[in-house]
Amino acid sequence: MKELKLLHAADLHLDSAFEALSPEAAEERRAEQRELLFRIEDLAEKRGVAAVLLSGDIFDNETVRSETARDFNSSLGALSCPVIIAPGNHDPYTPHSMWETMRIPENVYIFKSAGISAAEFQGIPARFWGAAFTNSFSHPLLNGFSRGEKTDELADVLVIHGDTAAGAGDYNPISREALVKCGMDYAALGHIHARTPLMTAGGTAYAYPGCTEGRGFDETGEKGLLIVTLSDAGVRTEFVPLGGVRYEILRVDVGGKDVSAAVCEAVSGLTENDCCRLVLAGECSAQPDLGLVRKALEGRFRELQLRDETTPKRELWPLRNKDTLSGVLLDKLYTIYTAADNDAERRRAELAARYGLAAVENGGEPL
């Protein structure tokens, strides 16, 4: 097999509604989404890939804005390599869908049928297999399919939108057996928005690149695409972040700490372009002042959400005089606590008491 380098992305969800935002902010987010197309173009050129594979949900819904259609054309249409698209449940192929009503650049190839078919492109040592969602839902498209015996040097690559997670489902459920049987060198999947490592089922390597950018706190972490290299040595994937908006949920233990200092330290890896949900946790003698926290982080993020899940600090040592297992445990630790000659040791004894108490209470008292 000749070495083959591909760009694999999925789930761009261009023109998403962003219903939680104001109309102006939603419009701005959609404009930012369109930028992803140009970053894909840029990366494809820089990395010199043989083809760009887009595994469905390129558009969030059937109404594609004219700016989005324009940018789709000027970015992907400017590439010197083919762009191969397998429509997904958000952008299924129908005779009246965007795939027929939009202008599509000549180098963009779209799978239009629910039956698996193959396409070849001049000068590229691969056969690209794929199928389309032709509705918002799809039965298993891959069941029973096999490429047959390999009689040439071409790599077999599948581009498809579908769900390997669900045993049965409405979104082209893909079973392990079907992946084994199809006999692909690589299956470029879309649908699951969290990226996966490279996996294998029999001789078929496969991966989900995840969505290209987070759209809410249910799509956290760094997002991007995969550069896939196929060669005689096997398949390699490299995750490349696209630098779009990032959502993060951070749980910060603020118990016994200066709350503002603790949260500032916890968020040090995030930028002003990110959206952050901070969940304060731990035992606090006073309820944290969320107004102060918000002030300490003012202007620090695109969006900040604060949740207080702290619990009131519990007085430990008065429990030590009871004639129970926890009483005996606390009594021992109190001796260590009072004998300690520095704060670190005292904190350790207190922590041991809290953990011990929790273990005893959750496990129940012996008779």
Nearer to Mn ion, 11 or 15 (CB): 11
Nearer to Mn ion, 211 or 316 (CB): 211
Nearest distance in Å: CB 163, Mn ion: 10
Distance between start and end Cα atoms, the chain: 71
Nearest distance in Å: CB 347, Mn ion: 47
CA distance 189 to 26: 28
Pairing type for strands 83-85 and 108-110 reads parallel
Nearer to Mn ion, 92 or 282 (CB): 92
CA distance 258 to 262: 6
Structure tokens belonging to residue 135 = 């509705």
Q: Which stretch binds Mn ion (CB under 5 A): 10-18, 121-129, 133-141, 260-268?
A: 10-18
**Contact yes or no for 282/255 (Cβ under 8 A):** yes
51-90 mask for Mn ion (x: CB under 5 A)?
------x---------------------------------
Is residue 321 classed exposed, middle or buried when 0-12, 13-18 and 19+ CB atoms within 10 A define those classes?
exposed
Q: Which stretch binds Mn ion (CB under 5 A): 8-16, 65-73, 271-279, 345-353?
A: 8-16
Nearest distance in Å: CB 112, Mn ion: 19
Nearest distance in Å: CB 56, Mn ion: 7
Nearer to Mn ion, 11 or 248 (CB): 11
Nearest distance in Å: CB 13, Mn ion: 6
Structure tokens belonging to residue 3 = 């070495």
Nearer to Mn ion, 224 or 288 (CB): 224
11-50 mask for Mn ion (x: CB under 5 A)?
x---------------------------------------
What is the biggest distance separating any 2 CA atoms in the chain, rounded to whole angstroms? 84
CA distance 210 to 9: 8
Q: Which residues contact 65 (CB under 8 A, 6 or more apart)?
A: 15, 30
CA distance 19 to 14: 14
109-148 mask for Mn ion (x: CB under 5 A)?
----------------------------------------
Nearest distance in Å: CB 40, Mn ion: 16
Q: How many CA atoms lie within 13 A of 360 on its CB side?
A: 17
Total site size for Mn ion, rule CB under 5 A: 2
Nearest distance in Å: CB 41, Mn ion: 21
Minimal CB distance residue for Mn ion:
57
CA-based Rg of the chain, rounded to a whole angstrom? Answer: 27
Nearer to Mn ion, 55 or 204 (CB): 55
Is residue 239 classed exposed, middle or buried when 0-12, 13-18 and 19+ CB atoms within 10 A define those classes?
middle
CA distance 29 to 22: 10
Nearer to Mn ion, 11 or 163 (CB): 11
CA distance 188 to 211: 13
Nearer to Mn ion, 20 or 328 (CB): 20
Q: Which stretch binds Mn ion (CB under 5 A): 6-14, 194-202, 297-305, 308-316?
A: 6-14
> What's phi and psi for 250, nearest 5 deg?
-120, 130
Nearest distance in Å: CB 171, Mn ion: 9
Q: For tokens 């498209």, name the residue.
A: 141
Using the 8-state DSSP alphabet, how is residue 123 labeled? T
Instruction: Please report which helix (H) or strand (E) contains residue 158, including its range.
Output: strand 155-161
- Please report, as a single letter, which amino acid is at residue 287: Q
Nearer to Mn ion, 190 or 288 (CB): 190
Nearest distance in Å: CB 225, Mn ion: 14
**Which residues ranging from 187 to 226 are in contact with Mn ion (CB under 5 A)?**
none
Nearer to Mn ion, 82 or 190 (CB): 190
Judged by the rule CB under 5 A, the positions of this chain that interact with Mn ion are 11, 57
